[in-house]
Chains A and B, each alone.
Chain A
Amino acid sequence: MKILSFVNCEARKVYRSTVFWVVISVFSLLPLMLGFLSSPDLDWESYLSDLLASTATLLVVGCSFTSAWVFGREYTDNTIKDLLVKPIPKTYSVLSKFIVITIWNVILASFSFMVVTGVGVFIGINGGSISLILSEFLTFMLTAIMIMAVSTTSALLASVTKGYLAPIGLTFVIVIVSNVVTHLGMGTYFPWTIPVISLVDSISLISIVIVMMTGITGLVGTIAWWRFAEQK
């Protein structure tokens, strides 16, 4: 039960910050704009397929940002020592942060899906059904979970570089590299493009393993860094 108390602390740090609401606003505005720019002649399947692919790309940036910010702000606000010099295992601190990041990301993914669907209803997209939308929602959430997994590397980078600027910068590099590798047909081997590809195509076991390994590296690496690295 101890960890729930730490999760409560981490959650409070997030939802009482301006950043939380700014990110939520971005994740409502951009899908809203994309939705209204879509043609109302599309059917629900094509509409969701187009918009969710763009939203998933936005989610790559968003999830990396949330991970980087939750870990990096402790260094930027200089509160890191408040967490390290405490009578609790450092693993608890890291895990409670990851739990809150996951909740935040699930909210972002669900919220952006709702906005996309809401705009679809508003502009009068035809040919949909509840089962189709639910099936698209499940596929999108699976994609979101994969994105969340690879985003753990941002937490590691934020811890190593003692701030959120480096991982945020790297996220933009990743977006550019993702475009290049996708054009080269190597997207199924690049951790950050695999989730988006999984939305429109089936992916191989190797791709799933790549995503899992990246996620484990981020998670274990961050725990190890907090547990063993010197805090100069």
Chain B
Amino acid sequence: MTIVKKASLAVIQMEGLSKYFGDHRAVNNVSLEVKRGEIYGFVGLNGAGKTTTIKLLLSLLKPTTGSIYMMGSKVESGNYKLWNKVGYLEEATYYPGLTVFENLDIARRMQMISDRQSVDCVVEKLGLDAYKNKKAQNLSLGNKQRLGLAKAMIHNPEILILDEPINGLDPASVAEIREMLLDLSKNFGVTIFISSHLLEELTKLVDRIGIMHHGQLVKDIKMAQLEQSLQKCLLLDGRDKSAMSCILKEQGYDFEETMDRRLKLMDDDAILQPDRVAELLVSANQPPTHLSIVTEDLEGYFLRTIRSVIREGQS
């Protein structure tokens, strides 16, 4: 029997979701909600539990505890009608001996779509017209990925679950796919749950981000909030960095040297009044050759979050 929850804004709901493989807790008490039309980025290091969570979401695995609802309907192996509304792409999979059109026609039949035009529509949408009659095995990596996306979108799903969907795509295709996903989300209310290691790309796409570490959801933050949480620093370069370091140390500035041997000042004073730092160095006859305020990117935030979780775990 399919369990249906009361109407909620959340299209995807995970409640206390855990999955154990023996003693190993692959997913540990994860609860999250994704609202209609939202793009949710799901990130984490390898082995963090992202793929297991996605498999649970697709009912390929059974949760040890907890439950998942999509559009109010419980995700479980018998509830196959749910997949009418869900599109999924893990990696570009295809039948190598069949053409792009044949692969998509199989996807159409498996989604029980009677309208044959749906194949042509999705071919056009994904820019696969030129490759329609080409065998899938002969496509470039980027076009294989497009084929995978076309299969995931052939039935105009309300939810798209994408695992590394832009891997292998050239920059132009990445931008194209990004625009298409944004259009689906903003104009058609499609909810997108996307897992990717390309953090820079995610920042251009997602509304909210979840960071997984050791099976736990350690951060679930809106992009607007995240932007406020990003750290800033003042980057300095000069001819004699050891002399510059002595001057800054004397004035009590907290700094560290970056990998490319620049000086990175984290003090609020320095960030708010970089002109004072410049003046100080000029007056000491050590004028900076470079001075800029740099905002941390998602990668920096992600690594900082993971490090703080590790530190908390150690203490």
Q: A4-21 toward B: CB 8 Å interface, digit per residue (1/0)? A: 011011001100111000
Least distance between B192 CB and chain A CB atoms (Å): 16
Residues of A with C-beta under 8 A to B97: 13, 16-18
Query: Are B112 and A88 in touch, CB under 8 angstroms?
Result: yes
| Assembly CA distance A83 to B60 (angstroms) | 11
| Assembly CA distance A176 to B81 (angstroms) | 46
| Assembly CA distance A54 to B96 (angstroms) | 34
Is A41 in contact with chain B by the CB < 8 A criterion?
Answer: no
Query: Are B80 and A87 in touch, CB under 8 angstroms?
Result: yes
Query: Are B106 and A13 in touch, CB under 8 angstroms?
Result: yes
Interface size on A, residues (CB 8 A): 28
Query: Are A79 and B58 in touch, CB under 8 angstroms?
Result: no
Is A84 in contact with chain B by the CB < 8 A criterion?
Answer: yes
| Assembly CA distance A78 to B163 (angstroms) | 14
Query: Are A89 and B80 in touch, CB under 8 angstroms?
Result: yes
Residues of A with C-beta under 8 A to B94: 77, 79
Least distance between B204 CB and chain A CB atoms (Å): 27
| Contact A78 B88, CB 8 Å, known A6-B109, A16-B102, A85-B58 | no
Least distance between B219 CB and chain A CB atoms (Å): 27
Is B306 in contact with chain A by the CB < 8 A criterion?
Answer: no
Query: Are B77 and A82 in touch, CB under 8 angstroms?
Result: no
Is B86 in contact with chain A by the CB < 8 A criterion?
Answer: yes
| Assembly CA distance A13 to B86 (angstroms) | 24
Query: Are B82 and A231 in touch, CB under 8 angstroms?
Result: no
Query: Are B110 and A9 in touch, CB under 8 angstroms?
Result: yes
Is A81 in contact with chain B by the CB < 8 A criterion?
Answer: yes
Is B35 in contact with chain A by the CB < 8 A criterion?
Answer: no
Query: Are A232 and B110 in touch, CB under 8 angstroms?
Result: no
Residues of B with C-beta under 8 A to A16: 95, 97-98, 102
| Assembly CA distance A116 to B107 (angstroms) | 40
Q: Which of B54-78 contact A (CB under 8 A)?
A: 55, 58-62, 77
| Assembly CA distance A177 to B234 (angstroms) | 76
Q: A209-232 toward B: CB 8 Å interface, digit per residue (1/0)? A: 000000000000000000110111
| Contact A232 B88, CB 8 Å, known A5-B109, A83-B110, A87-B111 | no
Query: Are B106 and A9 in touch, CB under 8 angstroms?
Result: yes
Query: Are A81 and B90 in touch, CB under 8 angstroms?
Result: yes
| Contact A12 B106, CB 8 Å, known A81-B90, A82-B151, A228-B77 | yes
| Assembly CA distance A2 to B62 (angstroms) | 28
Residues of B with C-beta under 8 A to A231: 55, 60-61
Residue of A nearest to B88 (CB): A85
Is B91 in contact with chain A by the CB < 8 A criterion?
Answer: yes
Least distance between A104 CB and chain B CB atoms (Å): 15
Query: Are B109 and A8 in touch, CB under 8 angstroms?
Result: yes
Residues of A with C-beta under 8 A to B93: 77-79, 81-82
Query: Are A232 and B112 in touch, CB under 8 angstroms?
Result: no
Is B131 in contact with chain A by the CB < 8 A criterion?
Answer: no
| Assembly CA distance A89 to B81 (angstroms) | 9
Residues of B with C-beta under 8 A to A12: 98, 102, 106
Query: Are B60 and A77 in touch, CB under 8 angstroms?
Result: no
| Assembly CA distance A86 to B109 (angstroms) | 10
Residues of B with C-beta under 8 A to A84: 58, 60
Least distance between B292 CB and chain A CB atoms (Å): 46
Residue of B nearest to A82 (CB): B93
Query: Are A87 and B84 in touch, CB under 8 angstroms?
Result: yes
| Contact A87 B82, CB 8 Å, known A9-B106, A13-B95 | yes
Query: Are B58 and A230 in touch, CB under 8 angstroms?
Result: no
| Assembly CA distance A82 to B102 (angstroms) | 14
Not counting A9-B106, A86-B111, A87-B111, a sample of 7 additional A-B residue pairs whose C-beta atoms are within 8 angstroms of each other reads A17-B97, A81-B58, A85-B58, A87-B81, A89-B80, A227-B77, A230-B60
The contact sample of 15 A-B pairs, CB cut-off 8 A, is A5-B112, A6-B110, A13-B97, A77-B94, A81-B60, A84-B58, A84-B60, A85-B58, A85-B59, A85-B83, A87-B81, A88-B80, A227-B77, A231-B60, A232-B61
Q: Nearest 8 pairs between A and B by C-beta? A: A231-B60, A87-B84, A87-B83, A17-B97, A9-B106, A86-B110, A16-B97, A5-B109
Measuring CB to CB, which residues of chain A are less than 8 angstroms from any residue of chain B?
Answer: 2, 5-6, 8-9, 12-13, 16-18, 77-79, 81-90, 227-228, 230-232
